[in-house]
Amino acid sequence: MAVVAFTGASGFIGRHTLPRLARHHRVRILVRRPLEALPPGVEQLVGGLHEEEVLSRLLEGAQVVLHLAGAIHAPSRRDFFHINADATGRLARLAAAARVERFILVSSLAAREPHVSHYAASKAEAEARVLAEGRSFELVIVRPPAVYGPGDRTTLDLFRGLARGLLPLPAARRGRFSLLYVEDLARLLVHLVEAPAVDGLVVEPDDGRPGGWNWDELAAVVADLTGRPVRILPIPRPLALLLALVGEGVARLRGGPPPLPRDRLGQLYHPDWVCTPEALARLPGWRPQVGLAEGLARTLDWYRAAGWLRLPAAGEGR
C-alpha cells in the first residue's frame, strides 16, 4: 500500500480515478474546495498548486505523486503556462525534495504538437519541467487522447450535436483521432501507481482501435445507438476563424469565456491525433476494456438520466 499524493481529484477524470485508487492505497488529495462523500481513508488538503506550504504537506511521506490537475481553458498563453507548466514544475521540485519515489504526470496528446495552441505548448512545457527533476524519481508521462464518459461536460456539446443528428464541425474533416473511455484511463492511472519498471515511459493510451477514428465512423456509431442518421457539417477554417472572432467579441461584452477561442483552432484542425501504442508494450497488465460503442452507450444513457441530453435510451428507435 502506497501513500499517493493526488492532484485533480475533483475533476472529471479525477472523480473516476479516486475511488479506484483509494481501494488499495492511502490517498491524500489537494482540492480548492472541500469535497463531500470521500472514499474511506482519503485525506484532503484545501489549497492551490501555487502554495508551497500546502504542497509540502501534500507530499509529506508520499511514495507516489499522481498529478492530474491542470487547465483545459484559460484566458491567455500566460495563464495556461502559469497553471499547467509553472505549477507542475513547482510540484516536481518539491516532490524531488520530499524524496518521492514515483511521479506520474497526466499530460495530453496535444503535447506532441506544441505549436498548435497555447494549451498544447503549456503541456509540452509541463513535461519538460518534470523531466528536469526526473533524475530524482521514477517518471511516467501519460498523454491521453480525447477522454469521454459519464459526467464530462467538455464533450457534451459534441454529443448534443451527434444526438440531434447534425454536427457542425470546426475541425479537420478528414482528420483521425484516438478516443479513450474514462474508466479505462482511471484503471491505467491506478495500474501505474503499482506497476514495476515504469521509469521513462511516455504512454499514449487509447481504446485499442488501430489508426484511431474519423468523424464519419464516430457518427455511424452514434447513429446506430440512437437510431437516427447523423450528418456532419464541416466548417471551413476561415469561417471558423470568423466565428471565433465574433464569439470572443461577444464574450468580452458579457464578461465570460468565448465558446470557440481562436487559439484552439490550430488544435481542432490538426489532422492527426492518433495515439502511438509502442510504449504500452512495455506495460503489461493494462489493456482497454471498453470499446467505443459500449462507452458511448454508457455516456449517452448517463447524459439522458442526468437531464443533460434529450434523446432515446441507447438502442431505442432503431
Q: CB neighbours of 152 closer than 8 A, spacing ≥ 6?
A: 12, 182, 299
- The distance between the two most distant Cα atoms of the chain, rounded to a whole number of Å, is 59
CB-CB contact of 275 with 213 (8 Å): no
Grid cell, residue 201, equals 515511459
Give me the pLDDT at residue 162, please: 87
Q: For residues 129 and 82, give the distance between their C-alpha atoms in angstroms, rounded to a whole number.
A: 12
Residue 134 has pLDDT above 90, yes or no: no
Q: For residues 164 and 43, give the distance between their C-alpha atoms in angstroms, rounded to a whole number.
A: 42
Give me the pLDDT at residue 197, please: 81
Between residues 90 and 164, the one the model is more confident about: 90
What integer is the mean pLDDT of 99-127? 97
Which among 216, 218, 227, 230 is positioned nearest to 313, based on CA atoms? 227
Q: What are phi and psi of 5, to 5 degrees?
A: -90, 120
What integer is the mean pLDDT of 289-317? 83
Residue 315 has pLDDT above 50, yes or no: no
Q: For residues 244 and 260, give the distance between their C-alpha atoms in angstroms, rounded to a whole number.
A: 5
3-143: CATH topology? Rossmann fold (3.40.50)
Burial (CB count <10 Å: 0-12, 13-18, 19+), residue 140: buried
Q: CB neighbours of 134 closer than 8 A, spacing ≥ 6?
A: 92, 103
Give me the pLDDT at residue 163, please: 84
Give me the pLDDT at residue 311, please: 63
Grid cell, residue 255, equals 464578461
Give me the pLDDT at residue 259, please: 85
Give me the pLDDT at residue 318, please: 38
Burial (CB count <10 Å: 0-12, 13-18, 19+), residue 233: exposed
Between residues 36 and 182, the one the model is more confident about: 182
- What is the distance in angstroms between the CA of the first residue and the CA of the last residue of the chain? 48
Q: Do β-strands 201-203 and 138-142 pair in parallel, antiparallel, or remain unpaired?
A: parallel
CA distances to 55, 92, 116, 156, 275 from 7, rounded to whole Å, are: 10, 12, 26, 24, 24
Torsion sign over Cα 81, 87, 93, 96: negative
What integer is the mean pLDDT of 216-221? 95
What integer is the mean pLDDT of 148-160? 91
The architecture (CATH level 2) of 151-178+209-274+290-318 comes to Alpha-Beta Complex (3.90)
Which among 19, 18, 14, 46 is positioned nearest to 32, based on CA atoms? 46
pLDDT tens digits along 16-40: 999 999 999 999 999 999 998 899 9
Mean pLDDT of the chain: 93
Burial 26-45 (b: 16+ CB within 10 A, else e): bbbbbbeeebeebeeebebe
Q: Boundaries of CATH 3.40.50.720 in the chain?
A: 3-143
What integer is the mean pLDDT of 261-285? 92
